[in-house]
Amino acid sequence: MFKKFGLDYVLLEAYEEIVAPTGAAIGLMPNGSFIMDQLGCYEAIELAAQDGELEDSHIRDSNSKSLMGLKHIMYHEEKRHGYPMLFSNRQWFLKVLYDQLKNKDCIQLKSRVDHIKSIEGGIQVTTNDGKSYEGDFVLGADGIHSNVRQEMRRIADVTNPKYFEPGEEDTVPCYYQYSYGIAQHVDSWPGREQCFTAGRGKSFVVVSGPGDRCYWFLFIKLPVVKHGTEIPKYSKEDEARFVEEHASLKIKENLNFGQVYAKRLTSTLTPLHEIVYKKWVFNRIFLVGDSAHKVNSRFNQSLAFKVLMPLAGPHNFFRDLSLRIVGGSRLKHIDLPSRPRAIPYDHELPAKPLGVLPSRIAWGLFSLGMILLPSCIRICQQECGSSTP
């Protein structure tokens, strides 16, 4: 993005390699693909993920019964928004982006931010190997345990002590533990499918990927909410106990968590921090991503879930999904992709849409008016004594 606008930069990467073997899958919704298209990366990303294109999606209850099946989900998303949903290994996605860079000298590996200080007309960063870099600003994209955020707060505590709320990191809550990973050649997994399985205090998302892979995400609610330093770090022994306890959880009728985990390529058990920090910037230091906002969305089952979900129907599912997609951002001052789409993005419209709630209120008032209109006509006829209102 910086290169598109002719901005010089240095990217400090803590890992030893840019395509580190961490994480599981990454999913691109159409609004994300829109930006990748603006950057000229979309075709390469699509090529890397095309073997894992989705065909069907199911929403299931805690007993793995399908409450709603959505056919040809990729086709519908592409026709509606110009792009399908794409899933691939996080490593592959990073490699595609890295391969698109013409000048790779801007990336410094094994360079973890250690110290930040203000200098005249700019900012200076020192890394763990003692090297220093100077620039106009620092953009911290280093996760929930952000060194950049810690340095930002340290500087602010000296120069402007009332700027940040004290002890904000100590109040970060954790409601769930989270197992995710990549499995391959799983018996009873059909491929080209996306599956949401919801329960009380637990839920699954399992998605097909390229090379007969599937990506799983399992959320389990903790018995007690943890905060700040109380939030645990899990070992492989903790993960083994977690799997033993939850191996029988059903994903679909003939598939449970233990069967998927047994075919794992990689796996991780981690706590789910949830926080939106009140301030993301101080002077020349900025935060993005998990360093600024770590939010999570589970798919939980209510008492009404089994009744309302089938009644909602596929149309409502696609409509609600579209409302989230069309509000996505774009890169300003870069040409917009010309891929055909039935539904325009909000930024392509001549005026800002009303939004979900005002639209529904307007639709409700209109519907009420149409219901009352015949009665109003009859009253007018009676008052006027005429057959013509």
**Per-residue pLDDT, 72:** 85
Domain that holds residue 115: 3-54+80-170+277-297
**Per-residue pLDDT, 305:** 62
Kindly give the pairing relationship between strand 107-108 and strand 250-252.
unpaired
Query: At 311, which helix (H) or strand (E)?
Result: helix 305-326
Q: What is the pLDDT of residues 10-36, one digit of tens each?
A: 999 998 888 877 777 888 899 999 999
Q: What is the pLDDT of residues 66-117, one digit of tens each?
A: 888 888 888 888 999 999 988 888 888 889 999 988 888 999 999 999 999 9
| Residue 227 clears pLDDT 50, i.e. is over it | yes
With 0.85 as the threshold, say if the pTM is over it: no
Q: Which of 25-29, 68-72, 247-251, 355-359 has the lowest mean pLDDT?
A: 355-359
**In terms of C-beta density within 10 A (0-12 exposed, 13-18 middle, 19 or more buried), how is residue 91 classed?**
buried
- CA–CA separation, 97 and 218 (whole Å): 28
Angle made by CA atoms 194, 240, 219, in degrees to the nearest 5 = 35
Q: Is residue 154 part of a domain?
A: yes
In the structure, what pLDDT confidence band is assigned to residue 325 with cuts at 50, 70 and 90? very high
Q: Is residue 75 part of a domain?
A: no
Contact 10, 135 (CB under 8 A): yes
Kindly give the pairing relationship between strand 56-60 and strand 193-199.
parallel
Q: What is the CATH number of the domain that holds 89?
A: 3.50.50.60
Q: Is residue 152 part of a domain?
A: yes
Q: What is the pLDDT of residues 305-316, one digit of tens each?
A: 666 666 667 777
Q: Could you give the C-alpha distances from 31 to 2, 27, 367, in angstroms and in order?
A: 20, 11, 32
Q: What is the pLDDT of residues 129-175, one digit of tens each?
A: 999 999 999 999 999 999 999 999 999 999 999 999 888 889 999 99
Domain count within the chain: 1
Q: What is the pLDDT of residues 39-49, one digit of tens each?
A: 999 999 988 88
Q: Is residue 324 part of a domain?
A: no
Q: What is the pLDDT of residues 168-206, one digit of tens each?
A: 889 999 999 999 999 999 998 988 888 988 888 899 899
| Residue 317 clears pLDDT 90, i.e. is over it | no
Backbone φ/ψ region at 201: left (φ over 0), alpha (ψ -120 to 50), beta: left
Higher pLDDT among residues 62 and 219, named by residue: 219
Q: Is residue 287 part of a domain?
A: yes
| Residue 358 clears pLDDT 80, i.e. is over it | no
